Structure 1
């Protein structure tokens, strides 16, 4: 049976982000196994970095994907959806890598900017569309 997706671009990004989250989650579990720390971070800097990188991903990605789905349902152009989804993906990967490796740096800042851009653009598109303003 053929399945028709009403949100083909967002659906693809949901799948990509779900798969991306697996190694982030596993990295926390591996560090817990290495250190024997079962709860919180136990003062281990490496575990804390992994936990915050995983947590930040988990805190930002779901809302961005919901905003993306709303934009797609509102008729956003495919180019906007691909650009926003791509920026979010690159931003999350860059932020994660920088946070886990050094904890700070330009990669972390750029990663957050690439994350915040879709979190701003998608809902603004939806609100403008609801107001009857077409771009």
Structure 2
């Protein structure tokens, strides 16, 4: 069995953050009595965008994190990347509520984790020199 501890912990933390983002939206919907759409409420729009932004970036970053971890194993660098991603997403959510610095730091941490993992993934992939494996047999029948 292969276990990817960094990715597993980061994905678990991301699920908790996503739950928190949904809870914030639900509480605001109840308070403002807006049960469908955004009702023109700017705070609700911002919170909905924070969660959608989370859904736009986090899955791809988790895939990159898993593939890099699978290729190179867990490392202190990967733990730092996972932590930076989660911190960035929490700061971004607070930033969408009006704390501009949190939004900027959150965006920067998210984009840096994505680009760092992408670059490292490209590097690892470009170092692979073995012949490709195929599941099809080539040659005469029999």
- Structure 2 length as normaliser, TM-score? 0.82
Q: What is the CA distance between 1:12 and its match in structure 2?
A: 0.8
Once the two structures are superposed, residues 43-97 of structure 1 have per-residue CA deviations (whole angstroms, 9 ceiling, x without a partner) of 1111112111111112111111111001101115512211111111111111111
Q: What is the CA distance between 1:39 and its match in structure 2?
A: 2.1
Which entry has the higher C-alpha Rg, 1 or 2?
A: 2
C-alpha RMSD of matched pairs (Å): 1.7
Contact 1:87 1:118 in 2 (8 A): yes
- Structure 1 length as normaliser, TM-score? 0.86
Contact 1:70 1:123 in 2 (8 A): no
In the other structure, the counterpart of 1:10 is 7
Question: Residue 48 in 1 paired to residue 45 in 2?
Answer: yes
Q: Count residues in correspondence.
A: 128
- State the alpha-carbon separation in 1 of the partners of residues 16 and 74 from structure 2: 25
Gaps of 5+ in 1: none
Gaps of 5+ in 2: 129-142
- Structure 1 runs (4+) greater than 6 angstroms displaced: none
